[in-house]
Structure 1
Amino acid sequence: MEAKVIRTEEQYEAYLNEVQVLISECPKLNSIQSERLELLTVLLEAYENSKYPIESPDPIEAIKFRMEEKGLKRADLIPYFGTSSRVSEVLNRKRPLTVQMIRALTIGLGISAETLVGASSPVDNAKSNELDWSKFPIKEMSKRGWVQGINKNIKESVEEIVKGFISDSGIEFGSASFRKTFYGEAETPTSKYALYAWVARVIQRARKKKSNVGKFMPEALSTSALKELARLSRFESGPLLAIEQLELMGIVVIIEPALKGTLLDGAALKDLDGTPIIGLTLRYDRIDHFWFTLLHELVHIWKHVDSNEAFLDDLDSSSEDRKEAEANRLATEALIPRVLWRRSDAFNNPSKDTIERFAKDLKIHPAIVSGRIRKETGNYSQFADMVGQNLVRKLFVLSEKIEA
């Protein structure tokens, strides 16, 4: 009898019985019986998959099962996730798996990528097109003066005010969801609403500065432009001079402290009219951190950002993402060229004198050299007095008051 697509339960039972008979006969490979067995098996599987679909395994439960199977503790997962805190966040469903984590778990623990990919989205698919307005940090937004007229007793008024605040920034909605794509390590399921609000605030402030900003010329960005900017670090007012220079190039820079619960250093994005915007939180009030973050975000503007993307960076997080790696590499090279670094006394015999001499030769601030030594050695107790602690925020106090 000719085999056909299974459409009824009776046909399914008949084919199932025939398969059992064929299996018991142990047909030879490539025989008519073996070919028939293979064909019926395919038809049965197709019917079963459509009639009785199997729910995809939960990625987190799959990881926990493999941990139990191999006798692993949470500390054993640090090589796959990067830090112990990130292990806890993923296993507690507060942080999505990244592509790098999925790759590492697939190779290291043998969990299929198909199983793990379900956890790579920071929100459930069923809810991905909806925003929960109650999760916006409305109290902190109100305290900072971002929104007014909040009536705690009227839920609808809060929702309308938050909607108005977001829409004023020009961030558009499709089925009540953001149309921008967010990249970087800063976004987690618990922080995304605070990040949305922060981005909206940065865009709003940037628009107030546009009239004083030049026309953006993409061709003006280059490795030499990054190096010229880095050399402004040697001046006490270097951060202010750098922002002035970028605004002459048509790039708006906004200093806006991060909202609570977010681990955010900087952001790079474009407004609806294509104006590039860099947002900095000054999470760490250090000269070395300011310059690396600024150049990292500038590389994103130069190389990666389009009208629908926003990069939100937690620079404490290691990332194997190609775009983040490129931003790190170009920013590092602009500050201290690798070919000079490896042959310098500051690298081979680090001391206050060798650091200051090398910084003078490169025309950069000694804090940048000190910061690189601390980063590469992992010893953050050394040269703590040379990284320019508490020397950045105070430069922006006056300008923040004027712009707010």
Structure 2
Amino acid sequence: MITKVIQTENQYHAYLEEIQMLISLGSSLNSEQKDKLELLSVLIETYENTKYPVESPNPIDAILFRMSEKGLKQADLVQYFGTSSRVSEVLGGKRPLTVQMIRALSIGLGISADVLIGLSMPNTAVTNNAIDWSKFPIKEMAKRGWLSNLMGKTKTSAEDVIRNYILDAGLQFGAASFRKTLVGAAESPTTRYALYAWLARVIQKARNKKSSLGIFDREKLSANFLRELAQLSWSVSGPLLAVEYLENHGIAVIIEPHLKGTLLDGAALKDLDGTPIIGLTLRHDRLDNFWFTLLHEVAHIWKHVDKDDAFLDDLDASSDDRREAEANRLSREAFIPRLIWKRSDAFISPSKESIDKLSRELKIHPAIIAGRLRRETGNFQHFNDLVGHGLVKNMFLITSTESDA
């Protein structure tokens, strides 16, 4: 059959079937068949660009999804792309898929050739979007050891190092911005790059915990669940018990100090496979801040987080987002139900004695009550000796270098 420019849908589908047949031959393709495969790919691409101007599904999405599904890293793709640098360039949208790559990916990873054929040109929106790689805090990231597995390789630019770091966490870039949408008061144009770097680190650390996590069941999250978590604060080792409690229920909890310039207390998100993750910075080394932040993020996991959102919270800042308001309300109710709070001596006539009395009745740490009083009155010098200064970071062995970051 003579290969011609595609004029009809029947001809288009016939060429697709022929490509599938050629790809299925694998390494047994002769030079004539390889040329035929490449020619058909060009013809199909030209036809699709003309006939279907709406952007087709992105093959890079399919590759990244299969990587996540099979637990593969970029290094595992070298056998399909030839070199590690080609893997980075293709996933970053800087190099097109070749016929050989399409064939290898289709056979090796089981990705349909329909997804890969004709869709392999670099995503110009991605390649040309205004990503300023210099804004990533690469020096601080390197100092913390985040890039140890990526740096030190010959001919690797800072841009490639950061790109690989972000891609490895599944935070690949989309047409307008990062795929993961940041929600919350901590995000701003000046902090966005640092927050994505921090978020990637949290995701990577959470993946190292997955084998030890329990099974996550969202149906088990409830007001009673939050209440049980809140009452763990009654124990001297409450923060450690809380992390264990959450991880037994399939929620990874990561302690990672914030990067310089960011005002971040905590985060709630899901990994590509649906694993819920809570990140805590311990920016304020106080028990009241730890407990309120933790329950706030659990409330987000319960009510708000989906696969595309990451909630990044600066709990010192006000927010008009109804989801933030709901997370605040659920957290407050879990510690001190509103009706009890308004009728308590701690609220009506605050004192160390009334705070201690209410903490015993509710089986929660007095730091939580003191912290609520400070926030509601706006007097952050009040009950300064009750909020648990310096009692959290040491539990999690946060080093001075990290805590100063």
Distance 1:128 1:375 in 2: 45
Distance 1:150 1:260 in 2: 21
Distance 1:278 1:351 in 2: 34
SS in 2 for 1:331: helix
- 1:139-190 CA-to-partner distances (Å, cap 9, x unmatched) read 0000000013657997x61111111111111212224831111110111111
For 1:210, give the aligned amino acid. Answer: K
1:146 aligns with 2:156: no
Distance 1:286 1:226 in 2: 20
Provide the residue aligned with 1:219 in structure 2.
219
Native 8 Å contact 1:152 1:158 kept in 2? no
For 1:397, give the aligned amino acid. Answer: L
1:310 aligns with 2:313: no
For 2:240, give the aligned amino acid. Answer: L
Provide the residue aligned with 1:278 in structure 2.
278
For 1:224, give the aligned amino acid. Answer: N
1:242 aligns with 2:242: yes
Distance 1:328 1:253 in 2: 19
Distance 1:240 1:387 in 2: 18
SS in 2 for 1:277: strand
Provide the residue aligned with 2:268 in structure 1.
268
Distance 2:322 2:128 in 1: 25
Native 8 Å contact 2:126 2:175 kept in 1? no
Distance 1:346 1:338 in 2: 13
Instruction: Give the 5 Å matches for 1:46-85.
Output: none
Distance 1:286 1:385 in 2: 11
Specify whether residues 372 and 135 from structure 1 end up closer, same or farther in structure 2 by C-alpha distance, changes over 3 A only: same
Native 8 Å contact 1:131 1:176 kept in 2? no
Specify whether residues 400 and 253 from structure 1 end up closer, same or farther in structure 2 by C-alpha distance, changes over 3 A only: farther
SS in 2 for 1:261: coil
Distance 1:174 1:342 in 2: 48
Provide the residue aligned with 2:185 in structure 1.
185
Distance 1:366 1:340 in 2: 15
Distance 1:128 1:260 in 2: 28
Distance 1:389 1:127 in 2: 47
Specify whether residues 176 and 153 from structure 1 end up closer, same or farther in structure 2 by C-alpha distance, changes over 3 A only: farther
* 1:126, distance to aligned residue in structure 2 (A): 12
- 1:76-123 CA-to-partner distances (Å, cap 9, x unmatched) read xxxxxxxxxxxxxxxxxxxxxxxxxxxxxxxxxxxxxxxxxxxxxxxx
Provide the residue aligned with 2:196 in structure 1.
196
Distance 1:301 1:221 in 2: 9
For 1:377, give the aligned amino acid. Answer: T
Distance 2:178 2:320 in 1: 25
Instruction: Give the 5 Å matches for 1:311-330.
Output: 311-330=311-330
Distance 2:356 2:128 in 1: 51
Distance 2:188 2:180 in 1: 16
Provide the residue aligned with 2:4 in structure 1.
none
For 1:297, give the aligned amino acid. Answer: E
Native 8 Å contact 2:171 2:180 kept in 1? yes
Native 8 Å contact 1:232 1:242 kept in 2? yes
State the TM-score, normalizing by the size of structure 2: 0.65
- 1:17-61 CA-to-partner distances (Å, cap 9, x unmatched) read xxxxxxxxxxxxxxxxxxxxxxxxxxxxxxxxxxxxxxxxxxxxx
Specify whether residues 204 and 253 from structure 1 end up closer, same or farther in structure 2 by C-alpha distance, changes over 3 A only: same
- 1:358-403 CA-to-partner distances (Å, cap 9, x unmatched) read 10000000000111111111111111000000000010007999xx
SS in 2 for 1:385: coil
For 1:323, give the aligned amino acid. Answer: R
SS in 1 for 2:253: strand
Native 8 Å contact 1:282 1:393 kept in 2? yes
Percent identity, aligned pairs only, is: 63
Provide the residue aligned with 1:298 in structure 2.
298
Provide the residue aligned with 2:374 in structure 1.
374
Distance 1:330 1:230 in 2: 11
Native 8 Å contact 1:151 1:157 kept in 2? no
Native 8 Å contact 1:130 1:175 kept in 2? no
Distance 2:321 2:128 in 1: 23
* 1:130, distance to aligned residue in structure 2 (A): 3.2
Aligned Cα root-mean-square deviation (Å): 2.4
SS in 2 for 1:312: strand
Specify whether residues 399 and 236 from structure 1 end up closer, same or farther in structure 2 by C-alpha distance, changes over 3 A only: farther
Provide the residue aligned with 1:251 in structure 2.
251
For 2:368, give the aligned amino acid. Answer: I
Distance 1:319 1:233 in 2: 26
SS in 2 for 1:250: coil
Stretches of structure 1 lacking an aligned partner (at least 5 in a row): 1-124
- 1:324-356 CA-to-partner distances (Å, cap 9, x unmatched) read 000011011111111001111111111111100
- 1:174-233 CA-to-partner distances (Å, cap 9, x unmatched) read 248311111101111111000000000000000000000011100010001000100000
Native 8 Å contact 1:151 1:158 kept in 2? no
Provide the residue aligned with 1:396 in structure 2.
396
For 2:257, give the aligned amino acid. Answer: P
Stretches of structure 2 lacking an aligned partner (at least 5 in a row): 1-124
